[in-house]
A = this chain, B = another copy of it.
Amino acid sequence: MRKSIATVSVSGTLTEKLAAIAAAGFDGVEIFENDLLVCPLPPEDIRAMAADLGLTIDLYQPFRDFEALPPPMLAAGLERAEHKFRLMERLGADLLLVCSNVSPLAVGDDALAAAHLRLLAERAAEHGVRIAYEALAWGRHVNEYLHAWRLVQMADHPNLGTCLDSFHILSRGSDPIGIEAIPGEKIFFLQLSDAPLLAMDVLQWSRHHRCFPGQGNFDVAGLVRHALNAGYAGPLSLEIFNDHFRQAGTGRIATDGMRSLVAVERELAGAAHPCVPTGFAFTELAATGELREVLGALGFARTGSHPSKPVELWWQGGARLLLNDTGGDAALIAIGLDSPDPGGAVKHAESLLSPVLPRERAPEEVPLDAVAAPDGTEIFFCDTAWLGDFGPGAPVPGQITGVDHVALTQPPHYFDEAALFYRSVLGLRPQESLELPDPYGLLRSKAMSTGSGVRMVLNIAQVGAGQTPWQHVALACTDLLAIARELRAAHPELLLPIPGNYYDDLEARHEVSPELRELGVLYDRDEHGEFLHLYTVTVGRVFFELVQRVGGYQGYGAGNAPIRLAVQHAGQPMMGG
């Protein structure tokens, strides 16, 4: 299917937008009027630039507050439209989006509205222009897509059809099945956006919080399916108003939009994710002496070394860490995922526009392909062969059973991109999404999981506190209190100190062992089970969490995160300075 995007969806000047949209592989654009008005180039030059870039101009938008005004105002509206038709001729655009009237002067009279729309379509026809009439979710009288379609039917002009917009339909909770009642050729245009479910005024929701399909909570692909069933054959066009997209990189957001449409197409084709990862093969850390000290205290030890790179395998139980002497600060730099089909996983990632990373290796080594996650972390797809590079070592015995989850701080403005990456490229599904206070702002946190095996937590400084790009690896164990006792006895300086006030509150809420307080272990419970966890101090950008899930506990102890954040911000004793 052809793919298009409204220029308002990305940042920059109109020429920057068009270049980035073309580079991302779109077939066409909607020209958003304000982008044109502020552009120093005349319409003819924009037309030529789009043509040079291989972009069709699929829509000019929006034309507002026209239909069903008191009849004396009709002439002025038609005159205004004539100006736009002439402009569109210069621009080489033949489809105009007309939004349902929001003016308090508009009259709630379907016959009048339809008559006006017919007049408009007649005038448009003289210029070779067609009109796509859309119900805004906050239209004064027309705010349901089937109402807009009814008016189009009443007006009955070949140059008049309807425009469907997933936000305007789904934000109102309307059932999109009614789309199938509209003849496909009368659906002149289809605009797609997703959004998180927010309880707020729909106009503000629309203007600030739309996002690409797959980044929010709407079933956008399901809506597209109805349009295809109706016979719609036009482009899928993204139209996003989003505060983060406005200030993010133009090319990066355009590419992410394309990724979202490819994912919609895959979903429409009924394609299951070809190779959902089944577990963490390894996590790779830029290592320092201090990091080795913490890992040693946690019972890890070197069990192998890479033949040609300064990389060691530290393996305990089911948890494998690669320590890479990069010379830099301690940081999490790569994640290896157990994949049922590593080659297929890379192809899948590539089809979703994920950059496949060049990989240097000696000929005798095991090939490993990686893609870059939005925060720069390298994601490897592995079968078990990679372990061969590190020799015949076996895991050291210990109480760590594996990696429970990995938490990564996302770069500003790219949280939605990250959510879409982990969902579409890796096959993780969104779990809880939370807002957590720290002393200088609010953290947004979103958990994603395959359901078994791979859990990720994406964090971002939503309000303030942007200077703390912490990453952490949560290690699973079956007897956290035993480990905590050993650590507390041997290496108390490596554990994050937890305020006594936390335990006063915890004991007011739950009956818990006094040992939690003595050991600095945090506690949570849900309706499925219990969660015990503790944190190490931070080394470079990294800290470790030890977690024990009891029963079927589903969460991540997020309610305790503000405690951790406050202690971390207050500056716990950092190793090595």
Chain A residues in the interface with B (C-beta under 8 A): 11-13, 16, 33-34, 36-43, 79-80, 83-84, 87, 198-201, 203-204, 243, 246-247, 437, 439-442, 463-465, 497, 499-502, 504-505, 507-509, 562-563, 565-567, 569-570
Contacts and interface: CB of A to CB of B under 8 A. Distances in A.
Contacts of A464: 11, 243, 246-247
25 contacts: A11-B441, A12-B439, A33-B505, A36-B501, A37-B501, A38-B499, A38-B501, A38-B502, A39-B499, A39-B501, A39-B566, A40-B500, A40-B567, A41-B499, A42-B501, A79-B508, A83-B504, A83-B505, A198-B204, A199-B201, A200-B200, A243-B441, A243-B442, A246-B442, A247-B463
A198 B247 CA distance: 24
Contacts of A570: 13, 40
A162 to B, nearest CB: 24
B247 A440 contact: yes
Contact of A38 (B84, B203, B563): B563
Contacts of A42: 500-501
B563 A508 contact: no
A384 B37 CA distance: 45
Given A204-B200, A500-B42, A505 B37 contact: yes
Contacts of A246: 437, 440-442, 463-464
> Which of A12, A37, A201, A464 has most chain B Cβ within 10 Å?
A37
A11 B440 CA distance: 5
Contacts of A87: 504
B501 A13 contact: no
Nearest to A243: B463
B37 A247 contact: no
Nearest to A569: B13
A465 to B, nearest CB: 7
The secondary structure that dominates the A interface is helix
Nearest to A203: B199
Contacts of A497: 40
A83 B563 contact: no
A83 B507 contact: yes
Nearest to A506: B37
Contact of A501 (B43, B243, B437, B567): B43
A159 B465 CA distance: 41
Contacts of A43: 501
Contacts of A562: 34, 37-38
A405 to B, nearest CB: 23
Given A38-B501, A83-B504, A198-B204, 14 more contacts: A11-B439, A11-B441, A13-B569, A34-B437, A37-B505, A37-B562, A40-B497, A40-B567, A41-B499, A80-B508, A87-B504, A198-B201, A200-B201, A247-B440
A39 to B, nearest CB: 6
A116 B496 CA distance: 40
Contacts of A39: 499, 501, 566
Contacts of A40: 497, 499-500, 567, 570
A442 B247 CA distance: 9
A509 B81 CA distance: 10
Nearest to A207: B435
A84 B501 CA distance: 11
A164 to B, nearest CB: 25
A381 B199 CA distance: 47
Contacts of A201: 198-200
A38 B463 contact: no
A86 B226 CA distance: 61
A300 B210 CA distance: 49
A94 B439 CA distance: 26
A464 B203 CA distance: 21
A97 to B, nearest CB: 16
A36 B37 CA distance: 53
A160 B243 CA distance: 46
A205 to B, nearest CB: 9
A441 B11 CA distance: 8
Contacts of A34: 437, 562
Given A12-B440, A43-B501, A246-B463, A38 B567 contact: yes
Contacts of A199: 200-201, 203-204
